[in-house]
A and B are shown apart, each in its own frame.
Chain A
Amino acid sequence: MKILVPIKRVVDPYAKVRPLADGSGIDLTGQNFAINPFDEIAVEEAARIKERDPSTQVTAISIGGPEVEDQLRKALAMGADESILVESTAEWDSPSVADELAAYLKDNPTDVVIMGKQATDDDNNQVGQMLAAKLGWPQATFASKIELKPGEAVVTRETDTGEETLSLPLPAVITVDLRLNEPRYIALPGIIKARSKPLNKVAPKTSPRLRTCMTGVESPPSRQAGKRVGSVDELLAELKGRGVLNG
């Protein structure tokens, strides 16, 4: 079984970010970066699958500059067998990333792609779906449970009305949600072991073609201070006074 886990380097999801003074983007000075948390769950899932079936081969892949090596090394330390850095300093939007991943998969037979449902920096929730469409592969999104069998993936996904279980023939694309697993601590011996695992650098097979253009970033308006009320009666009166409640 061959698993591909695409990962994205994102600004620390718990950091407070500010727009640059000219609004042309986010001020990244002094910020820390991490694997997109949803992608980290995908790496963890692949590592667990590999623990159950040691013949599994897990490859992590990312597009970006040399700085992304930190995240790819982390994927190796978590249990991936090899990492691939598609070297590019260009800007890539979702369809472009899907194009590049599709090109990789055409040359590198893979049974299943497991990836985060979205990245915490742009919240697009697009690449997995676009990739499946480009390849003509089945897809299961927002997975909260994954079971791989020969030629088949059984995926439980969360919907607004409850849980839904899908059976997909392989190869397939699966995007994962928060409840799938909780990534473990990365043990130090694993980090040292990762030093000898391959991190291959390759040139992109496609060129990004941006369909959208970001024109500006601004902070959300600051929240108005709340009002503290002393009792339920006071709360009801306040709500009625503001026309939120009738009567």
Chain B
Amino acid sequence: MSTQTVSPPGASFFSATPARAFAPEDFAGDEKLMIDTAEQFSRKEILPVAERLDHQEDGLMPSLVKQAGDLGFCGVDTSDKYGGLGLGKNVAARILEFLSLNGSFSVTFGVTSGISQVGLALFGSEDQKLKYLPALTSGQQIGAYALSEPNSGSDALSAQTKAIRQGNKWILNGTKMWISNAKWAEQFLVMAKIDGEKFSAFLVERDFPGVSIAREEHKMGLKGSSTARLVLENAEVPVENLLYLEGLGHHVAFNALNIGRFKLSSMSIGPAREALGVAATYALDRKQFGQSISDFGLIQKKFALGAALFYAAESMIYRTGAMIDDAFEQYAGTIDGNRKAAEEYALECSACKIFSTEAESWIVDEMLQVYGGYGFTEEFPIARIYRDARVSRIYEGTNEINRLFLSDRLRRKAKDGSASLTAAGDSFISELAGKAIGQVGADQASIGAASDLVLLAYAEQSARLRSARFGGIHEALYTAFIGYANAKAAESYQLVTGESVTLPAISKPDYAEIAKAVYSKRGPAV
């Protein structure tokens, strides 16, 4: 729960600097206890069986989900009326981060505790919620979310799965692709078009006639998770299992995705956290030229920049989560209110998704590099972490789709008066973003580069607000981060405007100090 009751409106970071923003340090004492329990559970129950999970050992993953359910993890932010804990989305996301140290468990758990519940929780009728949510929040059943199709991925609304009303049933036909948890799920949130036209959401049980699961996909990573097609051949769905209204399935699907993108952001820094930890342990042990490689400057730089990117990602994710919680507190209750709350910070959710998944990629890649040749073998956990991380930039909306959405969303909000394009100018990046946003071309390269400026402005502001409050190593992390971010922003600015720009002078980042903090914590520096 945030310390302020009313957060600034969505996208306002662009044009104003708040006096204060929620930081991960602000979680309350007993929330920290919950987060600790999550970390212990990850380290003691999940990480030791990572290899067995990758081999899809029979029953192992569902039993871990059940165990997580027994501890109360499966419905943290779902109302206690439906067996959840009724806590905020922010603490739920932080718990999720620590349950995401292993990627395969992360995606399995993330889907059943997140995107398979949120559409139902926000848009379901009371009967639907009472019927389907308690099995998910208790971990007794696993849920899944079915939007993509073989020929409709990013272009989700072009879905071909059809629903036709026959008496008191909907008859569904089509194939849903990339369904995480397909092997274990008892319930699926399925998007289909009524009469081939009206995009709608349906609650489909695995045992309904005409529902089947195709063979497992052979994936590059996340081998311990299940991904397969959901095949609907004259599948019979009771008429009351239409979720929300005919033709308004996109509200369900996309708002579940807004929250999904926010949650995915914490799911992607979980493995980055673990990568920093295992690589720190390796670097401290590995000796070359008669000394520990952890003392080498170029190795320290990797840890320092990795920790700085992690710091910025963490700062923006939990700042966003606190605002989302406030929005739910302010608006939730009715379905329209729920929708407004889930939409308010859609831009910030996309910014978090892009930045966090790319920070994750950078971190797992450079942490693998720390291992040298050993990183390229299966002897150490880093190879698995590296493989598992790759999909983060693809699912929950590819980073390209999110980039097209982001700056466009800001400009639309400016048009309808709910945001301003006059930048706060509180940093070098913000100044560049302010100058560039009026010059965005129609081409995707230009729109994408403008989005980079906007999301970097958000990351920078979030990291700055946090580091100013806590000082010390926080300042060092912030300095290391802007060294990296300013250069990226300058490049994006040039892409949008065609003008070159001189980077401002900044103090030299203390890579050694940050690296030492990473080594001593065996994880992110703070």
A-side residues, CB < 8 A to B, are 15-16, 29-30, 69-70, 73-74, 77, 185-189, 191-192, 194-195
Cα–Cα, bound, A77→B473 (Å): 32
Q: Smallest Cβ distance from B520 to chain A, in angstroms?
A: 6
Q: Which residue of A lies closest to B31 (CB)?
A: A191
Contact among A29, A77, A187 for B30, CB-based, below 8 A: A77
Nearest Cβ distance between residue B61 and chain A, in whole angstroms? Answer: 19
Which chain A residues border B40 with CB–CB below 8 Å? Answer: 185
13 contacts between A and B (CB under 8 A): A30-B473, A70-B29, A70-B32, A70-B33, A73-B30, A77-B30, A186-B37, A187-B72, A188-B37, A188-B71, A188-B73, A192-B85, A194-B30
| Bound-complex Cα distance A209 to B295 (A) | 46
B76 at the interface (CB under 8 A from A): yes
Are B85 and A195 touching (Cβ within 8 A)?
no
B132 to chain A: closest CB distance in Å? 21
B72 touching A189 by the CB < 8 A rule?
Answer: yes
Given A30-B526, A188-B37, A188-B85, A69-B71 contact (CB < 8 Å): no
Is A191 a contact partner of B526 (Cβ separation < 8 A)?
Answer: no
Contact B472 A191 (CB under 8 A): no
Interface string of B30-47 (1 = CB under 8 A from A): 101110010011000000
Q: How far is the CB of B92 from chain A (nearest CB, A)?
A: 10
Which residues on A sit within 8 Å (CB–CB) of B472?
29-30
Q: Establish whether residues A187 and B71, one from each chain, have CB atoms under 8 Å apart when the complex forms.
A: yes
Contact A187 B70 (CB under 8 A): yes
Q: A185 with B71: in contact, given A16-B520, A30-B473, A192-B85 (CB under 8 Å)?
A: yes
Residues in B neighbouring A70, C-beta threshold 8 A? 29, 32-33
CA distance A143 to B73 in the complex (A): 34
Q: Which residues of B contact A15 (CB under 8 A)?
A: 520
Interface centre among B29, B472, B526 (most CB of A within 10 A): B29
Shortest beta-carbon distance from A79 to chain B in Å: 14
List CB contacts (< 8 Å) of B70-97 with chain A: 70-73, 76, 85, 87
Residues of chain B contacted by A194 (CB below 8 angstroms): 30
Closest to A190 in B: B72
Docked pose: A187 CA to B473 CA in angstroms: 33
Contact between A195 and B70, CB atoms less than 8 A apart: no
Interface size on B, residues (CB 8 A): 20
Question: Across the interface, do A73 and B33 meet the contact criterion of CB distance under 8 Å?
Answer: yes
Query: Known interface pairs A16-B520, A29-B472, A30-B473. Does A188 touch B29 (Cβ–Cβ under 8 Å)?
Result: no
Q: Write out the residue numbers on chain A whose beta carbons fall within 8 Å of the beta carbon of B517.
A: 30
Bound together, the chains give a CA A194 to CA B33 distance in angstroms of: 11
Chain A residues within 8 Å of B73, by CB: 188
- B-side residues, CB < 8 A to A, are 29-30, 32-34, 37, 40-41, 70-73, 76, 85, 87, 472-473, 517, 520, 526
B142 to chain A: closest CB distance in Å?
19
For A30, A188, A191, the residue with the greatest tally of chain B CB atoms inside 10 Å of its CB is A188
The 3 closest A-B pairs by CB, nearest first: A188-B72, A70-B29, A187-B71
A20 to chain B minimum Cβ distance, whole angstroms, is 15
Q: Please name the residue on chain B nearest to A67 by beta carbon.
A: B29
Question: Whole-angstrom distance from the CB of A198 to the nearest CB of chain B?
Answer: 15
Contacts of B30 in A (CB 8 A): 73, 77, 191-192, 194-195
Residues from chain B with a CB closer than 8 A to the CB of A187 are 37, 70-72
Residue of A nearest to B67 (CB): A185
Do the beta carbons of A191 and B34 come within 8 Å of each other? yes
Verify A191–B520 contact, CB threshold 8 A.
no
A82 to B72 CA separation, bound complex (whole angstroms): 23
* B86 nearest CB across to chain A (Å): 9
Residue of B nearest to A192 (CB): B85
Quote the shortest CB–CB distance from B525 to chain A (angstroms).
9
**Contacting residues, chain A, for B29 (C-beta < 8 A):** 69-70, 73
Q: Which of B30, B41, B70 has the most CB of A within 10 A?
A: B30
* B526 neighbours in A (Cβ, 8 Å): 30
Whose C-beta in chain B lies nearest to the C-beta of A66? B29
Contact check, B34 vs A185: say whether CB atoms are below 8 A apart. Answer: no
Docked CA distance A77–B71 (Å): 12
A29→B33 CA distance, assembly (Å): 20
Point out which of B71, B473, B526 has the most chain A C-beta atoms below 10 A from its C-beta: B71
- Besides A187-B71, A188-B85, 13 new A-B residue pairs in contact (Cβ under 8 A), listed by A number: A30-B473, A30-B517, A70-B32, A73-B29, A185-B37, A186-B37, A187-B72, A188-B37, A188-B73, A191-B30, A192-B30, A192-B85, A195-B30
Q: Would B41 and A185 count as touching, CB distance under 8 A? A: yes
CB distance from B216 to the nearest CB of A (A): 31
Assess A191 versus B473: contact at CB under 8 Å? Given A16-B520, A30-B526, A185-B41.
no
Report how far A69 CA is from B72 CA in the complex, Å.
23
Q: Is the CB of B33 within 8 A of A77?
A: yes
The residue in A69, A77, A191 that gathers the most chain B C-beta atoms within 10 A of its C-beta is: A191
- Interface-centre pick from B33, B87, B517 (highest chain A CB count, 10 A): B33
Known A29-B472, A30-B473: A186·B85 in contact at CB below 8 Å: no
Cα distance A81–B87 in the bound complex, in angstroms:
23
- Which B residue's beta carbon lies closest to that of A70? B29
Least CB separation from B36: chain A residue: A186
Nearest-neighbor residue (CB-CB) of A15 within chain B: B520
Q: How far is the CA of A30 from the CA of B472 in the complex (A)?
A: 10
- Complex Cα distance, B76 from A188, in Å, reads 8
CA–CA, A29 to B526, complex, Å? 11
Residues of B within 8 A of A188 (CB): 34, 37, 71-73, 76, 85
Complex: A16 Cα to B281 Cα, angstroms: 13
* Closest beta carbon of chain B to A141's beta carbon, Å: 28
Contacts of A192 on B, CB cut-off 8 Å? Answer: 30, 85, 87
In the bound assembly, the distance between CA atoms of A187 and B69 in angstroms comes to: 9
- When C-beta atoms are compared, the residue in chain A nearest to B41 turns out to be A185
Return A147 CB to nearest CB of chain B, in Å: 28
Closest to B525 in A: A30
Closest CB in chain B relative to A229 CB, distance in Å = 18
Q: Which residues from chain A contact B37 at a C-beta distance below 8 Å? A: 185-188, 191
Bound Cα distance A73, B473 (Å): 29
Distance A185 CA – B526 CA, assembled complex (angstroms) = 24
Contacts of A74 in B (CB 8 A): 33
Most chain B CB inside 10 Å of its own CB: which residue of A15, A73, A185, A195:
A185
Q: With the chains together, A37 CA to B85 CA distance in Å?
A: 28
- Once the chains are docked, how many angstroms separate the CA of A29 from the CA of B41? 26
Q: How long is the Cα–Cα vector from A112 to B423 in the complex, in angstroms? A: 65
Is the beta-carbon distance between B71 and A191 smaller than 8 angstroms? no
Query: Bound state CA distance, A15 and B40, in angstroms?
Result: 15
